[in-house]
Amino acid sequence: MALSLFTKTKKAIIERAQDDFATKMRLKYKPYYHAMEFQQGTHLRLKGRDMIMLSSNDYLGLSFHPKVIEACGEAARKWGTSTTGARISNGSRTYHTELEEKLAAFLGREACHISVAGYISCCSAIATFAQKGDLVLADKNIHSCLWDGIRLSHATVERFSHNNPEDLRQVLKGVSHQIPKLLIVEGVYSMEGHICRLPELAQIAEEAGCFTVLDDAHGFGVLGRQGRGTVDHFKLNDKVDLLCGSMSKSLASTGGFVAGSSDLIEYLRTNSKQTLFSAAISASQVAVASASLDVMQSEPQHLERLWKNTRRYREMLKKLGLDIWGSETPAVPIVLGSKELVYRFWQALLEKGVFTVMSIAPAVPPGKDLIRTAVSALHSDEDLEKIGAAMAYAVKQM
Ligand SMILES: Cc1ncc(COP(=O)(O)O)c(C=O)c1O
């Protein structure tokens, strides 16, 4: 008894956290969590050095648009900073329903539900609709929030090869028609920059009676008329049951949305744990998304500039012999194939004042270790020239 006063049992969870290899490596090499001291558009300062941002998802560059900034401040003055409650209880405001109606109309859907994060919206788009006994067919490269949604649903999951309709067909062979099925894809794959092969995949899904969910976090604002997204790009709005996405990319805010028929959205409002038990998004973030959506429709120059920059940037990388994994969009990976090469390339770019993000296995498939870069409409010609020179320097360091 006396001894127990002096011996202390170690807590296994604390030991596990302290011994974690990935954390030790992160703290040793410091590749992530860089806190910038200043940002104005694509220009930022890191440890006293001026840099060009080349990995933000501010595709249309609206996070520094005067109308968007004005809307943000005005909303906080009018509504305060937080709703401090869930939509179902004390957190609902007219600005929520107004943005939902506006987004639904833009996307050609009956209804929409917004939340505090794209992660939450996209996760709930699956977790709410799939259940034990269902079969989820998932592209193997979908985002972590979609895998979480699948796990929470307790449905059975079958993966098919990335963006591969033939493999989806194989996976579906022998599956009973009676089992409720969901197909989960992204419109634009955030790491690869690939556009979903939606025409073929949606056709197979329809034949098999699959409920189709498409996460368009990186297609919204980038593809389709005025940035309506991947489904609009292919004119396949009637083939996708539920759209989900993020407001933290082209909409220059934070938050997420799920859009579909009124029946589906009302079902989500009744059953989604992520919706019922999480506080509603703040007025400022809604106002930012709403103002950005207006700008997307009234100022086409941002989308035009984004694609002009994307074409120029992709050509530049190809001329340098870099592998961009067949990217078709402003999200452009530079595949180097090993974490050592990625680290050296990333360091060389930093040295030349270009900020990018490393993505290494298991975040990407083995052998596909890459630098994730993304073009913005805000990149000037001068920015792109500097980026080109930095890339050429990094290639020479390999
Ligand atoms: C495909 C995809 N879905 C969802 C999300 C989550 O969005 P958010 O960052 O707004 O939570 C992301 C974020 O990177 C994403 O890439």
CATH of the domain at 345: 3.90.1150.10
Cα 96 to middle of ligand 1, angstroms? 20
Q: What is the mean pLDDT of the chain?
A: 96
Cα 186 to middle of ligand 1, angstroms? 10
Measured between alpha carbons, how far is 178 from 201 in angstroms, rounded to an integer?
20
pLDDT tens, residue by residue, 382-397: 999 999 999 999 999 9
Q: What range defines the domain where residue 354 resides?
A: 23-53+300-397
Task: Write down the pLDDT at residue 26.
Answer: 92
Cα 214 to middle of ligand 1, angstroms? 12
Cα 28 to middle of ligand 1, angstroms? 27
Candidates 246, 248, 278, 372: which one to mutate for ligand 1, based on the most atoms within 8 Å of Cβ? 246
- In a domain? residue 250: yes
Residue 118 pLDDT > 60? yes
Cis peptide before 199 (omega within 30 of 0): no
Task: Write down the pLDDT at residue 362.
Answer: 85
Residue 49 pLDDT > 60? yes
pLDDT band at residue 44 under the 50/70/90 scheme: very high
Measured between alpha carbons, how far is 286 from 116 in angstroms, rounded to an integer?
9
- In a domain? residue 1: no
pLDDT band at residue 4 under the 50/70/90 scheme: low
pLDDT band at residue 32 under the 50/70/90 scheme: very high
Q: Which residues contact residue 282 at a Cβ distance below 8 angstroms, ignoring those fewer than 6 apart?
A: 76, 79, 81, 82, 83
Residues 29, 79 within the same domain: no
- In a domain? residue 367: yes
CATH of the domain at 125: 3.40.640.10
For residue 190 and ligand 1, the question of a CB distance below 6 A is answered with yes
- Residue whose Cα lies nearest atom 9 of ligand 1: it is 118
Atom of ligand 1 nearest to the CA of 145: 4
Atom of ligand 1 nearest to the CA of 248: 10
Q: Which of 298, 331, 363 is the last residue of a domain?
A: 298
Measured between alpha carbons, how far is 383 from 374 in angstroms, rounded to an integer?
13
Measured between alpha carbons, how far is 327 from 314 in angstroms, rounded to an integer?
8
Average pLDDT estimate for 326-346: 96
Candidates 143, 146, 281: which one to mutate for ligand 1, based on the most atoms within 8 Å of Cβ? 143
Task: Write down the pLDDT at residue 347.
Answer: 96
Residues 293, 308 within the same domain: no
Residues 120, 228 within the same domain: yes
Task: Write down the pLDDT at residue 365.
Answer: 87
pLDDT band at residue 5 under the 50/70/90 scheme: low
Residues 290, 308 within the same domain: no
| Cα 244 off chain centre by | 10
Task: Write down the pLDDT at residue 3.
Answer: 57
| Cα 123 off chain centre by | 12
- In a domain? residue 13: no
Tokens 């995949």 sit on residue: 201
For residue 192 and ligand 1, the question of a CB distance below 6 A is answered with no
pTM, full prediction = 0.96
Question: Which is it for strands 111-115 and 49-53: parallel, antiparallel or unpaired?
Answer: unpaired
Residue 245 pLDDT > 70? yes
Average pLDDT estimate for 273-287: 97
Residue 7 pLDDT > 80? no
Residues 139, 194 within the same domain: yes
For residue 42 and ligand 1, the question of a CB distance below 6 A is answered with no
- In a domain? residue 15: no
pLDDT tens, residue by residue, 189-209: 999 999 999 999 999 999 999
Task: Write down the pLDDT at residue 363.
Answer: 85
Q: What is the largest CA-CA distance in the chain?
A: 77
**How many beta carbons lie within 10 A of that of residue 301, not counting itself?**
11
Read off the DSSP letter of residue 323.
B
Residues 150, 291 within the same domain: yes
Residues 293, 267 within the same domain: yes
Domains in the chain, number:
2
- In a domain? residue 192: yes
Average pLDDT estimate for 340-348: 96
Query: Comparing C-alpha atoms, which of 199, 231, 195 is closest to residue 214?
Result: 231
Candidates 114, 142, 145: which one to mutate for ligand 1, based on the most atoms within 8 Å of Cβ? 145
Residues 364, 380 within the same domain: yes
Average pLDDT estimate for 127-149: 97
Residues 203, 188 within the same domain: yes
- In a domain? residue 190: yes
Task: Write down the pLDDT at residue 10.
Answer: 84
Residues 259, 320 within the same domain: no
Residues 93, 234 within the same domain: yes
Cα 118 to middle of ligand 1, angstroms? 5
Q: What is the Cβ-side half-sphere exposure of residue 364, based on CA atoms within 13 angstroms?
A: 24
Work out the percent of the chain whose per-residue pLDDT is above 90: 94
Q: Which of 281, 298, 315 is the last residue of a domain?
A: 298
Query: What angle do the packed helices 283-298 and 301-319 form, to 10 degrees?
Result: 80
For residue 187 and ligand 1, the question of a CB distance below 6 A is answered with no
For residue 253 and ligand 1, the question of a CB distance below 6 A is answered with no
- In a domain? residue 292: yes
Average pLDDT estimate for 205-225: 98
Q: Which of 248, 266, 298 is the last residue of a domain?
A: 298
Residue 282 pLDDT > 80? yes
Task: Write down the pLDDT at residue 6.
Answer: 66
Cα 41 to middle of ligand 1, angstroms? 21
The two three-digit tokens of residue 28, written as one number: 């040793």
Q: Does residue 111 come out as left (phi exceeding 0), alpha (psi in the -120 to 50 range) or beta?
A: beta
For residue 117 and ligand 1, the question of a CB distance below 6 A is answered with yes
Average pLDDT estimate for 355-360: 95
Residues 334, 228 within the same domain: no
